[in-house]
DNA sequence: ATCGATTCAGAAATATTTTATGTAAAAATA
DNA sequence: TATTTTTACATAAAATATTTCTGAATCGAT
């Protein structure tokens, strides 16, 4: 699927604010409702637009700690890896998990209320997994940038 | 601000799908439109709901490479740090940047089309910064989990 | 030149959001 | 305890937004 400049303009706008109305978008890119509507629907159908979500404020929800965890598995076989993946999917505090090539196997990003919660998570949920051999934690002191916007 | 169970139910729904109508939400939590409307407006006003965004498909936009970069600065002074932060804010391929305590200073997450783009980014945009002393890259082989949903 | 496909505009129909009005229960005050 | 105030909710009407319909203009291909 080929995106023309109009598609890209729409995507750039919707990435930043999904609550813009079709009319808002139409005005901003000098078009009528119809093409904007049709294009958005097409972008949704094609899966270019995956979903619309609300971004909540971490701190106001009491989540004041973010941690990167480098995890090394006991073995690098498919079974061990699949078992680990499965466990991670059911951990809401793990907001990011990526399989890595390097001196460890996974990079995780964890969001939690405080250090006590992290201690608990580390001891009772992560290190307890049979697939996990080593955990290396990096505590985030300050968030400089965090965006869902992709370059288009 | 205190969130009751009804607020939390609304937030859980909107985090996953911001295109649910007030009616949809009202039905799902057995309420009428008014309280749902009023609560959502209050959550927006209080900043609990920060924004509504569209999530786009990386691969369909041609971004097939994700990299974590551990960056060490030349000095850990405020000025150097502030200069680095400023530069990062203007780099659309850097979707995440966090100041870290540990054996390096920053953890970055980069999204790009391919290795060639990364090579270019590394040489022409990142390592060229006067604040940067060392870059350590970890290439993501496979994305296991990536969510904007916070545990509530 | 004509046909078909694509892209867009305008308007009507439908659905959603917003506002207004009112009621009942709980909390606060006299 | 009685009264007032506040809070939370329901229903309905008004204002907006989305969706669908109809048709015109442009571009390519035959």
- Predicted confidence at residue B23, as pLDDT, reads 97
The domain spanning residue B83 has which CATH number? 3.30.70.920
Chain B contact for A55, CB < 8 A? Answer: yes
Q: At what angle do helices A33-45 and A5-16 cross, to 10 degrees?
A: 80
* CB B32 under 7 Å to nucleic chain C: no
Domain that holds residue B124: 65-139
Flag if B99 and A141 touch (Cβ within 8 Å). yes
Same domain, residue pair B33 and B85: no
Determine, yes or no, domain membership for A152: no
Same domain, residue pair B69 and B135: yes
Chain A contact for B59, CB < 8 A? Answer: no
- Of B40, B101, B58, which is closest to residue B76 (Cα–Cα)? B101
- Chain A with chain B: Cβ pairs closer than 8 A: 207
pLDDT in tens, B5-48: 999 999 999 999 999 999 999 999 999 999 999 999 999 999 99
- Of B55, B98, B19, which is closest to residue A149 (Cα–Cα)? B55
- Predicted confidence at residue B50, as pLDDT, reads 98
What is residue B92's three-state secondary structure? coil
The answer, yes or no, to whether residue B2 has pLDDT greater than 90, is: no
Q: What is the spatial distance, in angstroms and rounded to an integer, between the CA atom of B33 and the C1' atom of D13?
A: 14
- Predicted confidence at residue A36, as pLDDT, reads 97
Structurally, how many domains does chain A consist of?
A: 2
Chain B contact for A150, CB < 8 A? Answer: yes
Of B61, B144, B148, the CB nearest to A53: B148
Residues B44/B105, Cβ–Cβ less than 8 Å: no
The answer, yes or no, to whether residue A102 has pLDDT greater than 90, is: no
Flag if A53 and B18 touch (Cβ within 8 Å). yes
């Amino acid at each position: 699927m080929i995106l023309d400049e109009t598609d890209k303009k729409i995507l750039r706008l919707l990435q930043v604010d999904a609550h813009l109305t079709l009319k808002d978008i139409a005005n901003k890119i000098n078009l009528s409702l119809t093409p904007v509507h049709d294009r958005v629907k097409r972008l949704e159908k094609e899966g270019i637009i995956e979903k619309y979500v609300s971004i909540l404020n971490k701190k106001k929800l009491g989540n004041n700690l973010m941690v990167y965890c480098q995890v090394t598995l006991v073995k690098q076989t498919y079974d061990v890896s699949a078992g680990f993946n499965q466990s991670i999917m059911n951990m809401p505090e793990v907001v990011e998990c990526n399989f890595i090539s390097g001196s460890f196997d996974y990079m995780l990003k964890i969001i939690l209320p405080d250090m006590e919660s992290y201690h608990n998570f580390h001891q009772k949920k992560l290190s307890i997994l049979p697939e996990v051999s080593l955990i290396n934690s990096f505590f985030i002191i300050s968030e400089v940038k965090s965006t869902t916007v992709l370059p288009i």
